[in-house]
């Protein structure tokens, strides 16, 4: 199979537009594409079943990836340039200079999405996370602790932003994620499906995480870095749960809190099994 490999010294080629517009996240979202950055992340993208449009990388990395690209049908376009040239063209400082453009999977109805897993389902949801890196770390935590699927609310940064994809370390390519138009409505749908939705809240002193049964169908809901869960989302949940902390500490970063909650749920489920 012949692969189209071209050396570039500018991003004027229309096929290179996504690399030139990496800060134009709304446009990427409308086109349902994303930029993957970093050697491991791009490798995991190539190893996944996700569609890959193109690669932009130094020649030495192309030689590393060539066997993976040759397995793909159709093969993505490959553009090469030295790292210093790539940093000048994109305006980003990059550790390895390895980039790829992939396609975001088509969205599914929530009911169809839930049908992927047998009971007891183990889900998570996030609201209001403006920091894409935090979104990516939550995705990575989901993969680490066996969360079946992550629901991303309408006020969150997209899980497919470049920084989110990078922070997930490519876990996004195998961790089911569903971006919804209304998290409150999605929680209502989950509850009608018999899934108990519990909000993480630093001051839910009447219900501690260690005393909460998470062995059944559950969805753990996490709020923004600064404000936590909004009032409507708190009301939509079945209840709120907290982690006891030392005096003087108000709350945990959402990425840290999700890891604590996911670990406890996984511990209970393995013990119950």
Do 133 and 165 fall into the same domain? yes
Task: Tell me the per-residue pLDDT of 194-245, one tens digit each, with 9 for 90 and over.
Answer: 999 999 988 776 688 989 999 999 999 999 877 889 999 999 999 999 888 7
CATH (domain of 12): 3.30.1330.30
CATH (domain of 159): 3.40.1280.10
Do 147 and 46 fall into the same domain? no
Q: State the average pLDDT over residues 252-265.
A: 93
pLDDT score recorded for residue 248 = 73
Task: Tell me the per-residue pLDDT of 53-108, one tens digit each, with 9 for 90 and over.
Answer: 999 998 888 888 999 999 988 889 999 988 777 777 676 666 677 899 999 999 89
Number of domains present in the structure of the chain = 2
Domain boundary among 103, 123, 153: 103
pLDDT score recorded for residue 226 = 78
Do 139 and 201 fall into the same domain? yes
Q: Which residue has the higher pLDDT, 27 or 271?
A: 27
Do 114 and 98 fall into the same domain? no
pLDDT score recorded for residue 150 = 98
Do 196 and 253 fall into the same domain? yes
Do 171 and 265 fall into the same domain? yes
Query: What CA–CA distance (Å, rounded) separates 226 from 130?
Result: 10
pLDDT for 25 beyond 80: no
pLDDT for 169 beyond 70: yes
pTM: 0.92
Give me the domain span that covers residue 38.
Answer: 5-103
Do 148 and 215 fall into the same domain? yes
Average pLDDT of the chain, as a whole number: 90
Share of the chain above pLDDT 70, in %: 94
Do 136 and 233 fall into the same domain? yes
Do 59 and 125 fall into the same domain? no
pLDDT score recorded for residue 56 = 92
Confidence band (pLDDT; 50, 70, 90) for 8?
A: confident
Do 154 and 90 fall into the same domain? no
Lowest mean pLDDT among 34-38, 184-188, 233-237, 268-272: 268-272
Do 170 and 251 fall into the same domain? yes
Domain boundary among 103, 120, 150: 103
């Amino acid at each position: 199979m012949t692969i189209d490999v071209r050396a570039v010294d500018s991003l004027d080629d229309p096929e290179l537009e996504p690399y030139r517009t990496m800060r134009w996240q709304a446009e990427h979202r409308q086109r349902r594409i994303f930029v993957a950055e970093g050697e491991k992340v791009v490798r995991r993208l190539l190893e996944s079943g996700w569609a890959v449009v193109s690669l932009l990388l130094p020649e030495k990395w192309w030689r590393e990836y060539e066997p993976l690209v040759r397995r793909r049908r159709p093969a993505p376009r490959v553009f090469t340039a030295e790292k210093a040239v790539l940093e000048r063209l994109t305006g980003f400082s990059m550790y390895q200079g390895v980039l790829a453009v992939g396609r975001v999977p088509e969205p599914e109805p929530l009911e169809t999405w839930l049908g992927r897993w047998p009971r007891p389902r183990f889900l998570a949801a996030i609201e209001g996370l403006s920091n894409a890196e935090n979104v990516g770390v939550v995705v990575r935590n989901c993969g680490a602790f066996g969360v079946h699927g992550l629901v991303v609310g309408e006020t969150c940064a997209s899980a497919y932003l470049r920084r989110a994809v990078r922070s997930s370390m490519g876990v996004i390519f195998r961790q089911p994620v569903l971006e919804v138009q209304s998290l409150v409505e999605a929680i209502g749908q989950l509850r009608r499906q018999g899934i108990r939705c519990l909000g993480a809240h630093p001051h839910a002193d009447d219900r501690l995480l260690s005393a909460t049964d998470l062995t059944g169908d559950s969805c753990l809901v996490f709020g923004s870095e600064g404000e936590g869960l909004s009032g409507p989302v708190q009301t939509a949940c079945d209840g709120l749960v907290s982690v006891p902390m030392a005096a003087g500490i108000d709350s945990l970063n959402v990425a840290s809190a999700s890891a604590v909650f996911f670990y406890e749920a996984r511990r209970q489920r393995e013990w119950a099994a």
